[in-house]
């Protein structure tokens, strides 16, 4: 049988998509690149995934795992013609341990759906990417995604205890454990953030977080983005670690307010959205600290949400930021770097300069508390040379972030977007070590090939001789 015939025999025709229109739909994620798809398959349980992998291996066909397609770094885009394994139907919440505060879930479970299902027992899944209404837990694990509320709670790696994985030979293994201190190498930490290059995640054991007894959300306006960033530095220096600290510059505030009508002050140079959680007295104290520091930094407005409805609309504004830019242009390029908090103002100034030099329409929104920047360029890809200009500017933004002591990515992953920039952070020996780990999991090189590591990362042969 042909490759497609074997897949159809396993899954049936409805779950093997190879119509030209389907191939276009699955050829890209939310980023700006696309690839060539042979077929897209929709398995419903682990053993089907394992069988798919064995079929693909027999036919020497690369595999690209995919969740909801909300990724922005090309992680779910095939570099060479490949099979897309769509995991959205593995969407069962298998088991919730309320006492141990853990849950085994499928990779296709939508992030926000998991937390909503846990509301009756007073728990939630802490990582909350802006796309949490659509993004899946498997995608969160693959890229080690974060979100506004990871400032105090930590990114996805801190909330994953174990993962079931189908490896490149079709075997099913579990990395990590319910035990808090598993002996041996921490393969769980290797798999989290591996972007589908080590295998296909089919179940995840997540750590659950207790809902806070009290919460306060503050909307603070400032005359300049420097004043907003100075307030963030002051808050952290005070010893207070809020649940979230998010900054939007004026162009982004205007776009969001036009889109959501959340009551954001469009005349402000920047807006800080801060949230404090904990006991009633602790929250009251946190609000006082933030308000005082904001006042010292020339805040033009300090508003505390009066109820859950107002708090929800303020957060809807922040989490709708990327959708709001559709008012400005048909396409957008959203970047993701991390810089030390002390370098926020300096790097932002340079990023604005880069945007001006390339004559780009730029808006900024970022997780200010942990220095995770998200400069966003709104543009029209139909204009000749425009995408190339945007990508050239994006490379310079990464370079200034690295020069300031930052990192390539905070939560989007490397994917296709930044693999050519890995040498800015890693030496040849570092890249070779990562390539060796990848080979240990996938000796055939069929799992999401050509992602993360640049060509030539494998620098040494088995005897240690440079290639």
154 and 60 share one domain: no
Query: Would you state the pLDDT for residue 465?
Result: 52
284 and 240 share one domain: yes
63 and 100 share one domain: no
126 and 68 share one domain: no
- Tell me if 444 is assigned to some domain: no
Query: Would you state the pLDDT for residue 460?
Result: 60
- Tell me if 440 is assigned to some domain: no
Angle at 167 between CA 13 and CA 35, to 5 degrees: 55
User: How far is residue 433's CA from residue 133's CA, in Å, rounded to a whole number?
Assistant: 36
- What distance, in Å, lies between the first and last C-alpha atoms of the chain? 39
The count of other CB atoms within 10 Å of the CB of residue 41 is 24
The count of other CB atoms within 10 Å of the CB of residue 277 is 20
315 and 231 share one domain: yes
Number of domains observed in the structure of the chain: 4
Q: Could you tell me the residue range of the domain that residue 77 belongs to? A: 3-86
Q: Which residues contact 103 (CB under 8 A, 6 or more apart)?
A: 93, 94, 95, 96, 97, 114, 118, 125, 205, 206, 208
The count of other CB atoms within 10 Å of the CB of residue 128 is 23
Domain boundary among 274, 300, 322: 322
Distances (CA, A) of 109 to 94, 114, 137, 337, 463: 10, 7, 6, 27, 44
71 and 122 share one domain: no
- Tell me if 361 is assigned to some domain: yes
Is residue 307 exposed (0-12), middle (13-18) or buried (19+ Cβ within 10 Å)? exposed
82 and 142 share one domain: no
Residue that has been written with the tokens 């889109």 in this structure: 259
- Tell me if 129 is assigned to some domain: yes
The enclosing H or E element of 346 equals helix 344-357
What beta strand segments (E) does 93-199 contain? 93-97, 102-105, 123-124, 160-166, 172-176
261 and 201 share one domain: no
Residue that has been written with the tokens 């990362």 in this structure: 457
Q: Quick one: DSSP state of residue 212? A: P
- 125-163: pLDDT as tens digits: 999 998 999 999 999 999 999 889 989 999 999 999 999
3-state class of 342 per DSSP? Answer: helix
- 411-429: pLDDT as tens digits: 899 999 999 999 999 999 9
Q: What is the CATH number of the domain that holds 268?
A: 3.30.70.2190
User: How far is residue 267's CA from residue 313's CA, in Å, rounded to a whole number?
Assistant: 19
- Tell me if 451 is assigned to some domain: no
Q: What is the CATH number of the domain that holds 43?
A: 3.30.43.10
47 and 78 share one domain: yes
- Tell me if 439 is assigned to some domain: no
- Tell me if 431 is assigned to some domain: no
User: How far is residue 15's CA from residue 38's CA, in Å, rounded to a whole number?
Assistant: 14
Q: Which residues contact 390 (CB under 8 A, 6 or more apart)?
A: 32, 333, 358, 360, 377, 379
- Tell me if 253 is assigned to some domain: yes
User: How far is residue 343's CA from residue 153's CA, in Å, rounded to a whole number?
Assistant: 23
- Per-residue pLDDT 10s for the chain (467 aa) are 899 999 999 999 999 999 999 999 999 999 888 999 999 999 999 999 999 999 999 999 999 999 999 999 999 999 999 999 999 999 999 999 999 999 999 999 999 999 999 999 999 999 999 899 999 999 999 999 988 998 999 999 999 999 999 999 999 999 999 887 778 889 999 999 999 999 999 999 999 999 999 999 999 999 999 999 999 999 999 999 999 999 999 999 999 999 999 999 999 999 999 999 999 999 999 999 999 999 999 999 999 999 999 999 999 999 888 888 888 889 989 889 999 988 888 999 999 999 999 999 999 998 998 889 999 999 999 999 999 999 999 999 999 999 999 999 988 999 999 999 999 999 999 999 999 999 999 999 999 999 999 988 887 655 455 56
Domain boundary among 210, 231, 265: 210
Domain boundary among 30, 56, 86: 86
224 and 307 share one domain: yes
340 and 278 share one domain: no
18 and 46 share one domain: yes
- Radius of gyration for the alpha carbons in the chain, expressed in angstroms and rounded: 22
Q: What is the CATH number of the domain that holds 366?
A: 3.30.70.2740
Closest CA to 321 of 382, 280, 366: 366
Q: What is the CATH number of the domain that holds 204?
A: 3.30.465.10
The enclosing H or E element of 294 equals helix 280-296
């Amino acid at each position: 049988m042909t490759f497609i015939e074997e897949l159809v025999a396993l899954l049936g025709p409805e779950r093997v998509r190879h119509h030209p229109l389907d191939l276009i739909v699955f050829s890209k994620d939310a980023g700006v690149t696309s690839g060539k798809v042979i077929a897209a398959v929709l398995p419903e349980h682990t053993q089907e995934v394992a069988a798919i992998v064995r079929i693909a291996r027999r036919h020497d066909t690369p595999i690209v795992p995919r969740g909801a397609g909300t990724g922005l770094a090309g992680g779910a885009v095939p570099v060479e013609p490949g099979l897309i394994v769509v995991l959205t139907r593995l969407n069962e919440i298998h088991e919730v341990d309320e006492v141990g505060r853990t849950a085994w879930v499928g990779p296709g479970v939508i992030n926000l759906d998991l937390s909503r299902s846990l509301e009756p027992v007073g728990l939630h899944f802490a990582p909350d990417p802006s796309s949490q209404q659509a993004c899946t837990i498997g995608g969160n694990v693959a890229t080690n995604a974060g979100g506004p509320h990871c400032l105090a709670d930590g990114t996805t790696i801190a909330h994953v205890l174990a993962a079931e994985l189908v490896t490149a030979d079709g075997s099913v293994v579990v990395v990590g454990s319910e035990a808090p201190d598993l002996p041996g190498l921490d393969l769980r930490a290797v798999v989290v953030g591996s972007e589908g290059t080590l295998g296909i995640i089919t179940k995840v054991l997540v750590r659950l977080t207790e809902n806070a007894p009290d919460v306060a959300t503050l909307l603070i306006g400032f005359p300049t983005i420097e004043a907003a960033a100075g307030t963030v530095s002051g808050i952290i220096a005070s010893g207070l670690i809020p649940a979230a600290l998010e900054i939007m510059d004026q162009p982004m505030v205007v776009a969001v307010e036009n889109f959501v009508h959340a009551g954001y002050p469009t005349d402000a140079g920047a807006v800080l959205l801060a949230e404090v959680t904990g006991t009633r007295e602790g929250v009251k104290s946190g609000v006082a600290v933030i308000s005082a520091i904001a006042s010292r930094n020339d805040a033009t407005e300090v508003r505390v949400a009066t109820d859950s409805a107002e708090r929800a609309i303020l957060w809807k504004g922040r989490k709708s930021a990327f959708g709001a830019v559709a008012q400005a242009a048909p396409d957008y390029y959203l970047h993701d770097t991390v810089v030390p908090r002390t370098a926020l103002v300096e790097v932002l100034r340079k990023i604005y300069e880069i945007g001006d030099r390339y004559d780009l329409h730029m808006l900024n929104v970022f997780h200010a508390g942990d220095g995770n920047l998200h400069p966003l360029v709104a543009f029209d890809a139909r204009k000749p040379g425009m995408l190339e200009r945007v990508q050239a500017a994006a490379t310079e933004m990464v370079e200034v972030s690295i020069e300031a002591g930052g990192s390539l990515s905070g939560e989007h992953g490397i994917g296709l977007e930044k693999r050519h920039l890995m040498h800015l952070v890693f030496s040849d020996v570092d890249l070779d070590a990562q390539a060796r780990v990848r080979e240990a999991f996938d000796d055939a090189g069929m799992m999401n090939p050509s992602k993360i590591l640049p060509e030539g990362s494998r620098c040494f042969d088995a005897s240690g001789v440079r290639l």
